[in-house]
Amino acid sequence: MAAKSTSFIDNLGKIYTYYTGGFIAFTITLAILEQLGVPNVIIGYAFVFLTVAVYALIGVLSRTAEVSEYYVAGRVVPAFYNGMATGADWMSAASFIGMAGTLYVMGYDGLAFVLGWTGGYVLVAILLAPYLRKFGQYTVPDFLGARFGGNLARTVGVIVLITASFAYVVAQIFGVGIIASRFLGISFEMAVFVGLAGILVCSMLGGMRAVTWTQVAQYIILITAYLIPVIWMSVKVTGVPIPELMYGQALEIIATKEQELGILKGHAMAFVNAKGEANFTDAMNFFTLILCLMIGTASLPHILMRYFTTPSVKAARQSVGWSLFFIFLLYFTAPSYAAFAKLEVYQNVVGLSMESLPAWIANWGKVGLVGACDAANASEIYAICKGVAGNADGILQLAEFRIMPDAIVLATPEIAGLPYVVSGLVAAGGLAAALSTADGLLLAIANALSHDVYYRMIDPKADTKKRLVISRVLLIFVALVAAYVASTKPSTILAMVAWAFSIAASGLFPALVMGIWWKRTSNIGAVTGMIAGFGICLYYLIMTQFYGMPLWFGIKNISCGMFGIPAAFLVTYVVSLVTPAPSKEMQDFIDSIRVPKGDVRLADASADIDH
Amino acid sequence: MSDLPPEKAKAYWAKTSGLMWTMLAIWFFFSFVVHFFAPSLNAIKIIGFPFGFYMAAQGSLIAFVVAIFWYAKRQNAIDEEFGVAED
């Protein structure tokens, strides 16, 4: 077994090169079949089923009966590949499909998401990842339990973890349902459970090990699928296949067009309201959102637990660099999608007569993502036009054009005049993004329940076999509950995802950082700090969202971490100072996780995973 | 820090913390400070990009990636200097 896994690790480069080559050959074959007249729906099926089948195959091949393989992939994942896996773990359907659309709608203000979802990795690298890796157990609550004296801190950690991760995983399954139903032509509810099956085969048999190697495969597909359409678009518009450099030209034309069309809030203008005037509240919300997303990134357990899988502390540090590099490839491309789509709309859609509109408008209008609402009865053709009063002059004015943010990435292949096979590729990419994130989140939740709650608190004598059975049962249970919630289409789902960051940031970040960086942090200090941060963030969210409480200082509730994080730091600090200092053994433990070399000296020997 | 005498352990942690604060300053600059000036920076155009927009869309991201790899290298050098790198 050991020999087999070593040779597998040695040959990773070769294996994933073959895999990538195979995927390209598969795409080319489908492209040829399309030219030979194979219908689109079959191409859509081929993409969805074949990619999911590959993930399932990897899941089956990576099945394991060893606890450390199941929870931390045997700690053999090289920095580079862990970076790719983290990239897929991190980038969800919201990043893949939603990000470009958000930038299209919000312009400069949307860049808060681009910044917030990347800069947090600096915090992960310098404050947390190397130390958590040195600590070297299985989960984030494990650390809280070992550092802050046992089950109380562990329990609070588990509650925050589940609250933040569950909303997030529901949104991923929701995303899987949307993509699968659109490309397979089945009902949304059914698509949710089909997607669920795909998620479960990846993660159930092999835990972290299977999820790791599947996520690497999913990263390769999602990044290929994201880059190809916009590279093509860049060639079409500018003649150069580097969209990230060339969309500057598009921005210039957009700025001129905005003046002609009388748009006062320009695409690239920072912190202005609809009238084009400087706006302080806008700027404040931009920066508070960045801070909450960054600190949230550094607190989400499904990301932190990826750094438990590297072979060493050194590799954990490098791995954060690779993670951000692979994430960066997508995020620095997203604004070019938005710019090219806007250019297309301003140049080739708005101001044209209704007869001469490009074909993609009608195609995406059918599924309700786009609307040309000139005629009085436009809503009969375009569902999205409901409530828009067109002036029926036969010309499409800007105010009569409607587009859902999700359409930007999905429709770009068609706008660029690419064959349908590229649309299938994009669907496969979106699916890969949603599946990989769902896998990571489900595993984080199931591990917290099986390892931290069941094994640590309920039955510490459970043998290996029983622990793994419990893990798998809980994984299926959590997945089914999440799928059920997703199938009811809860309307606040997207908001809930954004909240997950503030919740995790308020509940976990101060305890983790102070636990490592300030020896004086006491058990009671950390626990009260976690409760205070989590409580205040949740209170602000719920009161402003559902009970009409006015905003504090005009800060939107998506950034509730702005109140929760400082509160948690302050409470932890003050309470720690008035409670007894941690014992000598605890100080030794902190010293031992601060240096890469040597053993970890747990203050409480019973906290050891292998006792 | 079992293998290190107390004063060396202290020096190691001082250097490590120093690097952490340097990184935190870099992080703060590229996350916030540079974007405070976005409206004025937007007056500068580079290959079509308003510079303020460019920094938020690409410039800061590149800085983050480079900074993390630089940090990994620096911290590793500190580990080796004090002989606490893993075997």
Residue A596 to residue B24, Cβ atoms within 8 A: no
Cα separation, A233 vs A350, in Å, equals: 19
Disruptive mutation site among B58, B70, B78 for chain A (greatest number of A CBs within 10 Å): B58
pLDDT (tens digit, 9 = 90+) per residue, A508-556? 999 999 999 999 999 999 999 999 999 999 999 989 988 988 999 989 8
pLDDT (tens digit, 9 = 90+) per residue, B11-68? 999 999 999 999 999 999 999 999 999 999 999 999 899 999 999 999 999 999 999 9
Residue given tokens 């989140």 in the structure block: A441
- H or E, element range at A101: helix A99-106
> DSSP state, A275?
T
What range defines the domain where residue B73 resides? 6-81
pLDDT for A491 equals 63
> Chain B contacts of A115, Cβ < 8 Å?
31, 35, 56, 60-61
Cα separation, A365 vs A448, in Å, equals: 44
Task: Check if the interface score ipTM surpasses 0.85.
Answer: yes
Cα separation, B32 vs A119, in Å, equals: 10
Per the structure block, which two tokens stand in for A173? 């399954």
Alpha-carbon distance values, B45 to A245, A266, A501, B49, B53 (Å) = 13, 15, 34, 5, 10
Q: Strand, helix or coil at A351? A: coil
Of B31, B42, B54, the CB nearest to A119: B31
Residue type present at position A165: S
How far B10 CA lies from chain A's nearest CA (Å)? 10
Point out the residues of chain A with pLDDT beneath 70.
Answer: 1-6, 491-494, 605-611
- Residue A16, Cα to own-chain centre: how many angstroms? 23
- H or E, element range at A119: helix A111-123
pLDDT (tens digit, 9 = 90+) per residue, A380-426? 888 888 888 888 888 999 989 999 888 888 888 888 888 889 988 99
Of B39, B48, B83, the CB nearest to A271: B39
Q: Strand, helix or coil at A141? A: helix
Cα separation, A556 vs A504, in Å, equals: 17
Q: Strand, helix or coil at B45? A: strand
Of B56, B76, B85, the CB nearest to A115: B56
Give A336's strand partners: none
Residue A598 to residue B2, Cβ atoms within 8 A: yes
Domains contained in chain B, number: 1
Q: Strand, helix or coil at A395? A: strand
- Domain membership flag for residue B23: yes
A452 CB-contact burial (10 Å; exposed 0-12 / middle 13-18 / buried 19+)? buried
- Domain membership flag for residue B72: yes
Residues 6+ apart with CB under 8 A from A520: A576, A577, A581, A582
- Domain membership flag for residue B22: yes
Disruptive mutation site among A286, A288, A317 for chain B (greatest number of B CBs within 10 Å): A317
> Chain B contacts of A317, Cβ < 8 Å?
68, 71-72, 75-76
- Domain membership flag for residue B50: yes
Cα separation, A400 vs A374, in Å, equals: 6
- Domain membership flag for residue B60: yes
Q: How large is the C-alpha radius of gyration of chain B?
A: 18
Output the CA torsion A420→A425→A430→A436 (10° steps).
160
| pLDDT higher than 90, residue B3 | no
Cα separation, B84 vs B81, in Å, equals: 8
Residue A126 to residue B24, Cβ atoms within 8 A: yes
pLDDT for A2 equals 45
Residue A597 to residue B86, Cβ atoms within 8 A: yes
Q: In the Cβ-directed half-sphere of A242, how many Cα atoms lie within 13 Å? A: 3
Quickly state the pLDDT bin for B5 (edges 50, 70, 90).
confident
Closest CA to A240 of A97, A311, A111, A336: A336
Residue A321 to residue B75, Cβ atoms within 8 A: no
Domains and CATH numbers, chain A: 2-339+419-607 (1.20.1730.10), 340-406 (no CATH)
- Domain membership flag for residue B33: yes
How far B20 CA lies from chain A's nearest CA (Å)? 6
The residue of chain A with its CA nearest to that of B32 is A287
- Residue numbers of A between 103 and 122 with CB closer than 8 Å to B: 108, 111, 114-115, 118-119, 121-122
Cβ atoms of A353 and A394 within 8 Å: the answer is yes
Disruptive mutation site among B65, B69, B70, B79 for chain A (greatest number of A CBs within 10 Å): B65
Q: In the Cβ-directed half-sphere of B50, how many Cα atoms lie within 13 Å? A: 24
- Domain membership flag for residue B1: no
This prediction has a pTM of 0.93
Closest CA to A468 of A483, A487, A454, A488: A454
pLDDT for A411 equals 86
- Domain membership flag for residue B86: no
Count residue pairs from A and B with Cβ separation < 8 A.
154
pLDDT for A1 equals 41
- Residue A57, Cα to own-chain centre: how many angstroms? 24
> Chain B contacts of A287, Cβ < 8 Å?
32, 35
Q: Strand, helix or coil at B49? A: strand
- Residue numbers of A between 579 and 598 with CB closer than 8 Å to B: 591-592, 594-598
Residue B48 to residue A248, Cβ atoms within 8 A: yes
pLDDT for A522 equals 96
pLDDT for A7 equals 80
Of B20, B45, B58, the CB nearest to A244: B58
Q: What are phi and psi of A63, to 5 degrees?
A: -60, 150
